[in-house]
Amino acid sequence: MGEELKVIVFALANEEYGIEVDKVRTVERMAPITRVPKTPPFVKGVMNLRGVVVPVIDLKGRFGLKETEPTEQSRIIVVAVNDMEVGFIVDAANDVTDIDEDAIDQPPEVVGGIKAKYLRGIAKLDDRLLIMLNLSEVLNKNEIVQLEQMEA
């Protein structure tokens, strides 16, 4: 048995994804987002989270999937990446589950249209597959620099 990983399960375009709980700061309902000029289209802007300005990106847009209007179930998952907080807009944040580290396989080249570099692997749970995100790739260095300038 490998180590147990606690992950937050969220939905995006009919697929289920996971982010390790220790990288997640908070899960919020949709909130007002202020647009910021000269950012990539998937960067929706910034939000005020208890006095902290947090950049918000649409994960569907980031992965090249068709973006949709937020619904009642939509959530913003605020994660910490390299000492910076970023909000991800997702279709729904469903639950928290434990995954055995050994149950995570290498991702195929493309999963659901998403390049493997954004993925840490695929976790096999009893009756479903969970796509594990590689957060450092989802936010690559250049984008982090852009987002840090937004925070300033």
pTM: 0.85
Q: In the prediction, which pLDDT does 145 show?
A: 65
Cross-strand bridge partners of residue 151: none
Q: In the prediction, which pLDDT does 83 show?
A: 77
CATH code where residue 74 lies: 2.40.50.180
Helix (H) or strand (E) holding 135: helix 135-138
Number of domains in the chain: 1
Query: What is each CA distance from 104 to 74, 111, 122, 136, in whole angstroms?
Result: 26, 14, 5, 18
Q: In the prediction, which pLDDT does 118 show?
A: 77
pLDDT grade, residue 115 (50/70/90)?
A: low
